[in-house]
Amino acid sequence: MKIRIFSAALAAALPLGAAAQTQQQVKPPIAVYWLSVETAGGMGMELPPGMGSLMPTGMAGGKRMKLELGSSQGSGAEPRAGHAIPPVLSMGPSLPLLTPRIERAPVRERDDEEPDFERPKGRMLIYWGCGETPRAGQPVIFDFANMNPQDAARALRSVSISRPRGPAPGRNRTYGTWPNQEDSRSIPANASLKGDHVIAGNYSPEIRFSVGDRHDFMEGVAFEPVSKTSGGAFAVKWKSIPTATGYFATAMGQGDNQTDIVMWSSSEVQVMGQMLMDYVAPAEVARLIRDKLVMPPQTTDCTVPAGIFKNEGAMFNFIAYGDELNLVQPPRPKDPKQVWEQVWAVKLRLKSTAMTLLAEGGGGARSGRGSTRERTPDAAPQRDAAPQPGQAKPSPAEAVQEGVKALRGIFGF
């Protein structure tokens, strides 16, 4: 009897408490569509006539865009999808979203003689912070000949960033992308995203949305000519970008010895900045500004300390983070008891990038719309890191991996 009375009392009390803690059930979208949109300023300096075509793709300026459609539905036939674009994009009525053909890699015969591993020679000298002279305690030195996880963790400090995972082959049942092997056209210099967009295919529900001024291509980075201060530091200035949420810069060059690599970042705290040279969501940018890793959007100059590079000609890489457009259809029901069955979700993310040489007179002012030479690579670099927990510190093993990524970025392998 006592048990029944207790159960009845508990049941009577639950509705009030449970209502306060009700969590709405959310069903993920059938289709997810990502637009990764970049304005690349190229080298940020004028080149002699005919030299532009000799530049690697990554150093060429222009507008770039990567479109990715992922769906949990199958096509039932040959997958087909396309993106109907507004006329102001100046690329015709639509862009095809092609499903890549996955081919198995050839089986490699066993090689009993493994090549000997040869440790790289030289050191990495790490600096950070804008200012006339290096900060106290700099540089942190990482000797490649004595690589171990503890030294790597001390020298190759990274930062944890929350990153959602976008569409990808294998992650989604069906996938389509542009540019692709059938259509890799360059995006015109006067192209705009403003207007109505429609994505349709035989494996995805129809997606309709509009883009306004805030989420159009960002303005290109416009550097003023680089100058040297009386103390020998490099003064780098740029034109403010109205839609930027923050800025970050890195530089790489040679040290006193030919085998020394010097790395510098604009962060106020020690960090390997390669991970930040990519799309970062506005909320994360705001956090990084508070943590003094990213420069606020009001910033228009940064001085690279004197004496850290042996010669002029170190490479200065710069990124302006942009806003994001995030849409879900249908909207979230106001009643928390009603299941939110999402049909599609769209993410449009933006950035503006440029590079220049740390040399007297380098980085001449541009029009703010990027290079006159526009080209879109077949596969623009799109890092897709798995979500990471907030402020968690990278482990020594993760630090080593981040260092390897940095070296790959430096040497291009």
Rounded to whole angstroms, the maximal C-alpha distance in the chain is 95
At 232 the pLDDT is: 94
| Mean pLDDT calculated for residue range 206-229 | 96
pLDDT level of residue 360 (50, 70, 90 thresholds): confident
Task: Reply yes or no on whether the pLDDT at 98 is more than 50.
Answer: yes
Q: Poorest-confidence range of 11-15, 101-105, 315-319?
A: 11-15
pLDDT top residue among 115 and 240: 240
The alpha helices in 80-219, defined as continuous H runs, are 149-155
pLDDT level of residue 401 (50, 70, 90 thresholds): very low
Q: Give the H or E element holding residue 126.
A: strand 123-128
Task: Mention every residue, 6+ apart, whose C-beta is less than 8 A from residue 86.
Answer: 192, 193, 194, 195, 196, 197, 211
At 274 the pLDDT is: 82
**Own/partner pairs, 181-187, CB within 8 angstroms, 24+ separation:** 181/98, 181/378, 182/96, 182/98, 183/95, 183/96, 183/98, 184/376, 184/377, 184/378, 185/91, 185/376, 186/62, 186/374, 186/375, 186/376, 187/62, 187/63, 187/64, 187/65, 187/89, 187/91, 187/374, 187/376
Task: Reply yes or no on whether the pLDDT at 403 is more than 50.
Answer: no
At 400 the pLDDT is: 39
pLDDT level of residue 116 (50, 70, 90 thresholds): low
| Mean pLDDT calculated for residue range 124-151 | 87
Task: Mention every residue, 6+ apart, whose C-beta is less than 8 A from residue 363.
Answer: 44, 45, 223, 224, 225, 226, 236, 316, 356, 357
Task: Reply yes or no on whether the pLDDT at 21 is more than 80.
Answer: no
Residue type, 388: Q
Q: How far apart are CA 252 and CA 350, in angstroms?
A: 25
At 69 the pLDDT is: 98
pLDDT level of residue 224 (50, 70, 90 thresholds): very high
Task: Reply yes or no on whether the pLDDT at 24 is more than 60.
Answer: yes
DSSP three-state, residue 117: coil
Residue 81 · residue 201 · CB < 8 Å: yes
Residue 70 · residue 313 · CB < 8 Å: no
pLDDT top residue among 101 and 281: 281
| Mean pLDDT calculated for residue range 164-186 | 95
249 sits in the region (left: phi over 0; alpha: psi -120 to 50; else beta) called: beta
Reading the block at residue 293, the tokens are: 């890793």
Using CA atoms, how far residue 69 sits from 95, 122, 318, in Å, is 12, 44, 29
DSSP secondary structure of 263-305: EEES-SS---GGGGSS---HHHHHHHHHTTSSB-TT--EEEEP
At 2 the pLDDT is: 46
Task: Reply yes or no on whether the pLDDT at 5 is more than 60.
Answer: no
pLDDT level of residue 106 (50, 70, 90 thresholds): low
DSSP designation for 48: -
Q: How far apart are CA 249 and CA 266, in angstroms?
A: 5
At 297 the pLDDT is: 98
Question: What pTM did the predictor assign?
Answer: 0.79
Q: Could you report the per-residue pLDDT of 324-357, keeping only the tens digit for each?
A: 999 999 999 999 999 999 999 999 999 999 999 9
Q: Could you report the per-residue pLDDT of 46-89, keeping only the tens digit for each?
A: 444 444 444 444 566 899 999 999 999 998 889 999 999 999 99
| Mean pLDDT calculated for residue range 388-408 | 42
Residue showing tokens 């890191």: 385
User: In the sheet where 81-84 sits, what is the strand order?
Assistant: 94-96, 81-84, 195-201, 207-211
126 C-beta neighbours (distance < 10 Å), count: 25
DSSP three-state, residue 209: strand
Task: Reply yes or no on whether the pLDDT at 8 is more than 50.
Answer: no
Q: Could you report the per-residue pLDDT of 238-294, keeping only the tens digit for each?
A: 999 999 999 999 999 998 888 899 999 999 999 888 889 999 999 999 999 999 999
At 365 the pLDDT is: 53
Most confident of 162-166, 294-298, 360-364, 383-387: 294-298
Classify the C-alpha dihedral 310-360-357-238 as positive or negative.
positive
Using CA atoms, how far residue 217 sits from 163, 183, 296, 322, 379, in Å, is 21, 21, 20, 9, 19
Q: How far apart are CA 52 and CA 398, in angstroms?
A: 38
